Amino acid sequence: MIARSLLLLTALLATSVGAASAQTRDDVIAPPVLRGSVTISGDIVRIGDIIDNAGSAAQIAIYRAPDLGTTGSLQVAQVLSTLRAHQVIGVDTRDLKQISVTRLARTLEAKDIVAQIARTLERRNGLGNAANLSLTFDRDPGDIQLDASNTGSLQPASVRYEPRNSRFDVTFEISNETGTASTKLRFTGTAIETVEAAVLVRNVERNEVLKSSDVLVERRPKAEVGSDAATRDRAVGMQARKQLPAGQALRVADLAKPDLVLRDQNVTLIYETPGIYITVRGKAQDSGTEGDVVSVMNLQSKRTVSGVVTGRGQVTISVATPRPAPVSDATSSRFGAAEPAAPAPVAVANVSSVVAKTE
Residue 81's pLDDT is: 93
Alpha-carbon span 76 to 200, nearest angstrom: 67
**Contacts made by residues 29-35, CB under 8 angstroms, sequence distance 24+:** 29/53, 29/55, 31/90, 31/91, 31/92, 32/83, 32/88, 32/90, 32/91, 32/92, 33/91, 33/92, 33/94, 34/76, 34/79, 34/91, 34/92, 34/93, 34/94, 34/96, 34/99, 35/99
Alpha-carbon span 81 to 232, nearest angstrom: 72
| Cα atoms found within 13 Å of the Cα of residue 8, Cβ hemisphere only | 5
Q: How many distinct helices (H) and strands (E) make up the chain? A: 7, 22
Alpha-carbon span 231 to 224, nearest angstrom: 15
Residue type, 311: G
Biggest CA pair distance of the chain: 168
Residue 305's pLDDT is: 92
- 120 torsion bin: left (phi>0), alpha (psi -120 to 50), beta (else): alpha
Comparing C-alpha atoms, which of 85, 104, 97 is closest to residue 38?
A: 104
Tens of pLDDT along the chain (359 residues)? 454 554 444 554 455 545 444 444 445 578 999 999 999 988 899 999 999 999 999 999 999 999 999 999 999 999 999 999 999 999 999 999 999 999 999 999 999 999 999 999 999 998 999 999 999 999 999 999 999 989 999 999 999 999 999 999 999 999 988 777 899 999 999 999 999 999 999 999 988 999 999 999 999 999 888 888 898 998 999 999 899 999 999 999 999 888 888 889 999 999 988 888 889 999 999 988 888 899 999 998 899 999 999 988 999 997 766 666 555 554 444 444 444 444 444 444 444 444 434 33
Residue 2's pLDDT is: 53
Residue 236's pLDDT is: 93
Contacts of 329 (CB under 8 A, 6+ apart): none
The sign of the CA dihedral 175, 121, 231, 249 is: negative
Residue 288's pLDDT is: 87
Q: What is the CA radius of gyration of the chain?
A: 47
Strand 61-64 and strand 133-137: the pairing is: unpaired
Burial call 269-290: b when 16+ CB within 10 Å, e when fewer? bbbbbeebebbbbbbbbbbbee
Contacts of 252 (CB under 8 A, 6+ apart): 228, 229, 230, 234
Residue type, 210: L
Residue 30's pLDDT is: 85
